[in-house]
């Protein structure tokens, strides 16, 4: 006999950013909260590129009344901007966009997920959430009417809750078992592989960092369109405390080589090889990223919500998903609080979660998708165009980060408005809407 051992207001399945920030929010609001993690501790199953996008999530944390001092987080390094490399065989061009907004714990800092996720989960525990590790959720409990009433673990334990939140990543059990979505299509899932290469702190300082130790986030483009000839579709390098992480990405439907081959070929590129010179690989990992699916799927049901990668949150242009997961986790918690207060956790009430998320420009990426389609599909032409698409991404990324930082952009609005005439297509639309949004926020 399986016994019901406990009742919770809300269960977050997964102690990644959605589960832990969401759990922190729910517990802070007085909900009896459980976070279930399949790893031995949070973050041991997780992979990220660059770390903590504070500038994306600060406003959401503030509006939820969550006061956490991220300067105490396990920060590897602060960043100072984005560095873009354009390769053409042996030749390379570097473009370095430095911006002071990066350089604070609430900008973007580099972190390892095994340390960062454990730190955030600990914050949730300090606010009253329970954390249950080494436990894999294998199914949801459904009543006769199809309402999700909790989860079933791999030990056969049934744990009931008024609201179950799937924060269990790209291969989410909650999302599929609750019937909210099917398995992803291979055309929207990217396999990312990453290797962490130890260099020593001094070497990283000398090779990558400013005198204050801050580093750029590095993205690579091959302007000869060789990605499909063995370099994946995207490649990044992240300078960490005493190492450098390198990562390549390839959409599963486009895969022509083993994901490791893409990474190895990338690491053999003369310029990358130079950056990694003398390094010693110390870990290797693979993880999937579902790109930009949130607005295309059902994210709420009776008694259930799905968040983060489980809901296909990552941005379709660059694959970033930590901020998106955090925001949706917090929205799920706030929605659960209201639904439980109201005594109604049906999909009619939980729908509010989806509405909230789609009002946030970080999550509602219809236009980002148009840009991604344009970037990756319509624009595969000559070298000049390759450079142009890279350059437009370079403009896009800071705009994306800073969409919420109207105080910085308001003074330069007139200049931005003038620049629109140089832009075309969906990109023009994104920038126009960004400007409108900033304009509106500036007035309010």
Binding site for another protein (CB under 8 A): 38-40, 43-48, 112-114, 133-136, 138, 153-155, 170-171, 173, 183-184, 186, 189, 191, 193-196, 240, 243, 245, 252, 255, 257-261, 281-288
Give the nearer residue to another protein in terms of CB position, either 35 or 334.
35
Shortest separation between residue 324's beta carbon and another protein, angstroms: 18
Shortest separation between residue 388's beta carbon and another protein, angstroms: 32
Shortest separation between residue 164's beta carbon and another protein, angstroms: 17
Rg (Cα) of the chain, in Å, rounded? 22
Phi, psi for residue 369 in degrees, rounded to 5: -65, -45
Report the 10 Å Cβ neighbour count for 194.
20
Structure-token pair, residue 334: 């706030």
Structure-token pair, residue 198: 């130890």
Give the nearer residue to another protein in terms of CB position, either 46 or 219.
46
Give the nearer residue to another protein in terms of CB position, either 249 or 269.
249
Shortest separation between residue 188's beta carbon and another protein, angstroms: 10
**CA–CA distance, 120 with 73 (Å, rounded to integer):** 8
Structure-token pair, residue 199: 């260099």
Structure-token pair, residue 44: 């041991």
Give the nearer residue to another protein in terms of CB position, either 111 or 430.
111
Nearest partner of 113 among 60, 162, 181, 41, judged by Cα = 41
Give the nearer residue to another protein in terms of CB position, either 25 or 191.
191
Nearest partner of 135 among 118, 119, 156, 149, judged by Cα = 156
Shortest separation between residue 85's beta carbon and another protein, angstroms: 23
Shortest separation between residue 202's beta carbon and another protein, angstroms: 19
**CA–CA distance, 137 with 444 (Å, rounded to integer):** 44
Entry field: residues in the chain: 444
Shortest separation between residue 320's beta carbon and another protein, angstroms: 15
Pair 237, 254: CB distance under 8 Å: no
Give the nearer residue to another protein in terms of CB position, either 27 or 193.
193
Give the nearer residue to another protein in terms of CB position, either 56 or 197.
197
Binning the chain into helix, strand and coil, the percentages to the nearest 5 are 40, 25, 30
12 secondary structure, DSSP code: E
């Amino acid at each position: 006999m399986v016994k019901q051992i406990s009742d919770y207001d809300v269960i977050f399945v997964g102690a990644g950013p959605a589960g832990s920030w969401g759990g922190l929010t729910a517990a802070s609001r007085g909900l009896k909260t459980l976070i279930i993690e399949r790893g031995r501790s949070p973050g041991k199953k997780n992979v990220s590129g660059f770390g903590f996008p504070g500038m994306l999530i600060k406003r959401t944390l503030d509006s939820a009344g969550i006061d956490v001092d991220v300067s105490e987080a396990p920060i590897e390094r602060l960043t100072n901007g984005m560095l873009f490399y354009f390769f053409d065989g042996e030749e390379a061009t570097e473009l370095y966009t430095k911006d002071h907004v990066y350089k604070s714990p609430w900008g973007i800092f580099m972190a390892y997920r095994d340390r960062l996720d454990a730190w955030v989960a600990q914050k949730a525990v300090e606010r009253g959430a329970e954390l249950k590790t080494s436990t894999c959720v294998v199914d949801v409990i459904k009543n006769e009417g199809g309402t999700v009433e909790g989860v079933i673990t791999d030990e056969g334990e049934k744990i009931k809750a008024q609201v179950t939140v799937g924060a269990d990543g790209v291969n989410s059990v909650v999302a599929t078992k609750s019937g909210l979505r099917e398995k992803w299509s291979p055309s929207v899932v990217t396999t990312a592989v990453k290797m962490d290469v130890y260099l020593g702190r001094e070497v990283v300082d000398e090779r990558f960092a400013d005198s204050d130790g801050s580093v750029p986030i590095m993205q690579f483009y091959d302007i000869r369109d060789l990605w499909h000839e063995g370099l994946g579709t995207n490649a990044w390098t992240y300078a960490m405390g005493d190492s450098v992480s390198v990562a390549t990405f390839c959409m599963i439907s486009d895969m022509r080589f083993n994901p490791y081959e893409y990474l190895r070929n990338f690491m053999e590129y003369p310029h990358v090889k130079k950056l990694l010179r003398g390094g010693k690989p110390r870990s290797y990992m693979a993880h999937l990223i579902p790109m930009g699916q949130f607005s295309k799927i059902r994210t709420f049901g009776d008694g259930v919500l799905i968040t983060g990668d489980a809901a296909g949150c990552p941005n379709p242009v660059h694959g970033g998903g930590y901020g998106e997961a955090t925001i949706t986790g917090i929205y799920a918690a706030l929605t659960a609080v209201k639904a439980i207060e109201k005594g109604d956790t049906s999909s009619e009430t939980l729908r509010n979660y989806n509405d909230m998320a789609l009002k946030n420009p970080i999550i509602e990426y219809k236009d980002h998708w148009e840009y991604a389609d344009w970037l990756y599909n319509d624009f595969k032409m000559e070298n000049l165009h390759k450079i142009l698409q890279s350059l437009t991404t370079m403009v896009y990324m800071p705009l994306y980060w800073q969409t919420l930082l109207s105080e910085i952009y308001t003074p330069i609005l007139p200049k931005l408005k003038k620049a629109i005439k140089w832009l075309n297509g969906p990109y023009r639309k994104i920038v126009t809407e960004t400007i409108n949004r900033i304009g509106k926020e500036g007035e309010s």
